[in-house]
């Protein structure tokens, strides 16, 4: 526990000095990694208990679009728009989650229902092109450097915001991990009947973690939208985003605090690396390699990268102690 | 304290529990026996809220509880064990029971208090209460005890014990039977005890109900059950 805390602190300290070290492109990557690491961590809040949602792209999309739309059409500050987007994401989570949990839609069926959800949000965004710009995307009205509009051309502002978002996501993860709710959720994930028999309100516990996960994901989407200043249905919602979330979180490791962060680090640098390597002439190949690597990760390291490393270290530690 | 009236459960075209009625009095140990498949576990599932009754009523101290969700029934003071133990393998033995103590009453006790109660329950059934014991590798007898400890940690007034003797050897059976007997005397817990064999159960229970094909065919003193022609037929004809 404390070692994890220490490594998180070390990482945070490293993160604090990083922006000064590199070029703007580097900072841009770092901001994206932090934002997506937060989203993946939010997903892992559920995913670690076997509630595998393929619908989190929907929450990213809702979180990103709501404040942008409210800003452009009503001049409403994102300070209100972001909570509104989170509220809508929570509503969507409950509307989908309640019947699913009530009817005990679990495993593959849950994955399918949530997969449909993320596509529904994408299709809605595309269909409402009069308002959202459809697949052409949507650009929030620029306001220069403004706290009111939560827009900062200067990247370091968003770097700090993304860092805070990431720390928030990690604290939420830690909070759930350390509480008795985690044990209740482990019990639920293993045997819902047996959990209910000892007084656990299975429906409520599942809804609670879903709402928490959706809210944090929507916040991530909102920050991403504010930072990018351009929203596209394909890049902030839909199946592609949902799959990316699932694969990255699982590849990094959903049972460890920093697993999803490593997943973000890996997938984003990989995507960027392949893009630079192959350039625009060979876009499909980059995605294929990226997908294949992730599948290999999932097959050979079901605990994720961080989980596998930790296990290897734990296996080495007793030998070292015995050698003394 | 518990009044069951005309309780039925239908699975498709099959009537697993057929209009059974009985009453459980405060402080008694009621035996519920019958051959395999006679509807004993289904009756428990109905009372504990794991299944919804097709018809009939279940009243606890006068209030209808039929069809309530399982967690709500647990909070009202009815705990059950599962015939085939269903431990949470991802949790330690102590965590299994502490979780039951924490959620069983919904009174917002602290985690430390939940652990204290869990240790008590584990001591009572004779399982180790140190935090390091895992559920993997526990034998059949220990798993049966864990079921009991978990149920007891929820502080029930009424305990539904489903075949707590299944898979135990003779000595373990005697021990488990004495334990159930002592729960009433030491903690004042009312018990419905299901078993498909009569055996040691008859020594402990006050009254016994016999089910066959989902129907109640006998209710009365254990000594009478052993000589009742229908009960004898059901048991001699099938075992
Ligand atoms: N969920 C279920 N769906 C269909 N049939 C069931 C279900 N549960 C029990 N049954 C059937 O109901 C009958 C009674 O089962 P059960 O109550 O488990 O018997 P007992 O506990 O007395 O051995 C059996 O024939 C069993 O196959
Ligand atoms: Mg049974």
Question: Does B99 sit within 8 Å of A184, measured CB to CB?
Answer: yes
Nearest C-alpha neighbor of A197 from the set B180, B39, B56, B152: B152
- The structure tokens listed for A44 are 């892992």
Adjacent-strand bridge partners of B161: B193
CA separation (Å) from B6 to A137, A232, B58, B170? Answer: 63, 61, 9, 36
Whether the per-residue pLDDT at A130 is higher than 80: the answer is yes
Can you give the CATH number for the domain in which A135 is found? 1.10.3470
The ipTM assigned to this model is 0.93
Contacts of B132 (CB under 8 A, 6+ apart): B92
B183-188 long-range CB contacts below 8 Å, 24 or more apart? B183/B152, B183/B159, B184/B27, B184/B28, B184/B29, B187/B152, B188/B27
> Could you give the CA distance from residue B78 to residue B58 in angstroms, rounded to a whole number?
12
Å from CA of B16 to ligand 1 middle: 6
- What pLDDT does residue A269 have? 85
Q: Does any ligand 1 atom lie closer than 6 A to the CB of residue B11? A: yes
Q: How far apart are the first and last CA of chain B?
A: 34
pLDDT in tens, B12-23: 999 999 999 999
Q: What does pTM read for this prediction?
A: 0.89
Q: Which residue in B has a C-alpha nearest to residue A190's C-alpha?
A: B88
Nearest C-alpha neighbor of A132 from the set A85, A77, A69: A69
Å from CA of A280 to ligand 2 middle: 65
Å from CA of B162 to ligand 2 middle: 7
Q: Which domain holds residue A206?
A: 3-323
A183 in contact with chain B, both atoms CB, cutoff 8 A: yes
Question: Does A194 sit within 8 Å of B88, measured CB to CB?
Answer: yes
Question: Does A191 sit within 8 Å of B86, measured CB to CB?
Answer: yes
Using DSSP, state whether A146 is helix, strand or coil: strand
Enumerate domains of chain B plus CATH numbers.
22-51+66-77+156-239 (3.40.50.300), 86-155 (no CATH)
Question: Does A194 sit within 8 Å of B90, measured CB to CB?
Answer: no
pLDDT in tens, A87-102: 999 999 999 999 999 9
CA B71 to chain A, closest CA, distance in angstroms equals 4
Ligand nearest to the CA of B162: 2
| Count of domains observed in chain A | 1
CB A188 within 8 A of CB A49: yes
CB A218 within 8 A of CB A60: yes
pLDDT in tens, B130-139: 988 999 989 8
B125 in contact with chain A, both atoms CB, cutoff 8 A: no
pLDDT in tens, A254-297: 999 999 999 999 888 888 887 777 776 665 666 677 677 767 77
CB A40 within 8 A of CB A257: no
- What pLDDT does residue A281 have? 63
> Could you give the CA distance from residue A183 to residue A53 in angstroms, rounded to a whole number?
20
Buried/exposed B185-224: b ≥16 CB within 10 Å, e otherwise: eeeebbbbbbbbebebbbebbebbbbbbebebbbbeebee
Whether the per-residue pLDDT at B119 is higher than 90: the answer is yes
Count Cβ atoms below 10 Å from residue B67 Cβ, excluding itself.
13
- Mean pLDDT calculated for residue range A74-80: 97
Pairing mode, if any, of strands B207-212 and B215-220?
antiparallel
- What pLDDT does residue A20 have? 66
Q: What is the CA radius of gyration of chain A?
A: 20
- The structure tokens listed for B162 are 């489903």
Helix or strand (DSSP H, E) at A35: helix A24-47
CA A175 to chain B, closest CA, distance in angstroms equals 15
Whether the per-residue pLDDT at A301 is higher than 80: the answer is no
Comparing A68-72, A116-120, A163-167, the range with the smallest average pLDDT is: A116-120
- What pLDDT does residue A319 have? 52
pLDDT in tens, B196-239: 888 888 889 999 999 999 999 999 999 999 889 999 888 876 54
Comparing A160-169, A229-238, B46-55, the range with the smallest average pLDDT is: A229-238
CA A181 to chain B, closest CA, distance in angstroms equals 9
Q: Does any ligand 1 atom lie closer than 6 A to the CB of residue B37? A: yes
Nearest to B103 among A189, A191, A198 (CB): A198
Q: Does any ligand 1 atom lie closer than 6 A to the CB of residue B154? A: no
Whether the per-residue pLDDT at A324 is higher than 50: the answer is no
> Could you give the CA distance from residue B25 to residue A302 in angstroms, rounded to a whole number?
53
């Amino acid at each position: 526990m404390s070692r994890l805390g220490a490594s998180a602190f070390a990482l945070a300290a490293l993160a604090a000095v990083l922006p000064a070290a590199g070029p703007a492109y580097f900072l841009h990557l770092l901001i994206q990694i932090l934002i997506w690491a937060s989203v993946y961590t939010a997903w892992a809040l559920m995913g670690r208990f076997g509630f595998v949602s393929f619908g989190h792209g929907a929450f990213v999309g809702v979180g990103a679009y709501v404040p942008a739309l409210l800003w452009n059409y009503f001049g409403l500050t994102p300070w209100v728009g972001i909570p509104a987007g989170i509220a809508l994401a929570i509503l969507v989570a409950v509307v989908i989650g309640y019947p699913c949990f009530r009817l005990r839609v679990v495993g593959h069926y849950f994955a399918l229902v949530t997969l449909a959800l993320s596509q529904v949000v994408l299709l809605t965004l595309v269909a409402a092109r009069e308002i959202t710009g459809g697949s052409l995307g949507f650009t929030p009205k620029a306001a220069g450097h403004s706290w009111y509009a939560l827009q900062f051309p200067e990247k370091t502002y968003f770097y700090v915001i993304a860092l805070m978002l990431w720390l928030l996501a990690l604290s939420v993860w830690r909070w759930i991990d350390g509480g008795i709710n985690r044990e209740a959720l482990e019990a639920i994930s293993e045997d819902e009947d047996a959990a209910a028999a000892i007084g656990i309100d299975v429906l409520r516990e599942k809804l609670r973690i879903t709402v928490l996960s959706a809210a944090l994901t929507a916040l991530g989407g909102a920050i991403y939208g504010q930072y990018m200043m351009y929203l596209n249905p394909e890049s902030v919602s839909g199946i592609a985003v949902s799959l990316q979330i699932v694969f990255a979180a699982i590849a990094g490791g959903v049972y460890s605090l920093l697993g999803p962060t490593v997943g973000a680090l890996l997938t984003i640098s990989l995507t960027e690396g392949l893009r630079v390597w192959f350039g625009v002439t060979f876009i499909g190949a980059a995605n294929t390699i990226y997908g294949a690597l992730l599948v290999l990760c999932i097959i050979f390291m079901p605990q994720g990268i961080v989980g596998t490393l930790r296990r290897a270290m734990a296996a080495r530690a007793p030998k070292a102690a015995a050698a003394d | 304290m518990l009044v069951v009236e005309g309780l039925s459960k239908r699975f498709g075209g099959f009537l697993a529990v057929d209009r059974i009625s009985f009453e459980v009095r405060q402080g008694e140990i009621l035996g519920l026996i019958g051959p395999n498949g006679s509807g004993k576990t289904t009756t428990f599932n109905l009372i504990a809220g794991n299944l919804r009754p097709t018809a009939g009523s279940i009243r606890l101290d006068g209030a209808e509880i039929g069809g309530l969700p399982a967690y709500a029934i647990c909070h009202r003071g009815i705990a059950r064990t599962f015939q085939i133990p269903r431990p949470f393998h991802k949790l330690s033995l102590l965590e299994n029971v502490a979780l039951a103590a924490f959620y069983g009453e919904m009174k917002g006790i602290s985690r430390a208090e939940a652990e204290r109660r869990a240790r008590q329950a584990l001591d009572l059934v004779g399982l180790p209460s140190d935090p390091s014991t895992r559920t993997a590798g526990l034998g059949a007898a220990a798993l049966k005890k864990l079921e009991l400890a978990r149920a007891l940690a929820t502080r029930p007034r009424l305990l539904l014990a489903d075949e707590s003797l299944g898979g135990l050897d003779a000595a373990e059976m005697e021990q488990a039977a004495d334990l159930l007997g002592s729960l009433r005397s030491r903690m004042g817990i009312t018990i419905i005890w299901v078993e498909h064999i009569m055996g040691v159960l008859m020594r402990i229970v006050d009254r016994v109900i016999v089910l066959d094909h989902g129907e109640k065919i006998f209710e009365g003193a254990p000594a009478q059950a052993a000589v009742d022609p229908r009960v004898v037929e059901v048991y001699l004809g099938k075992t």
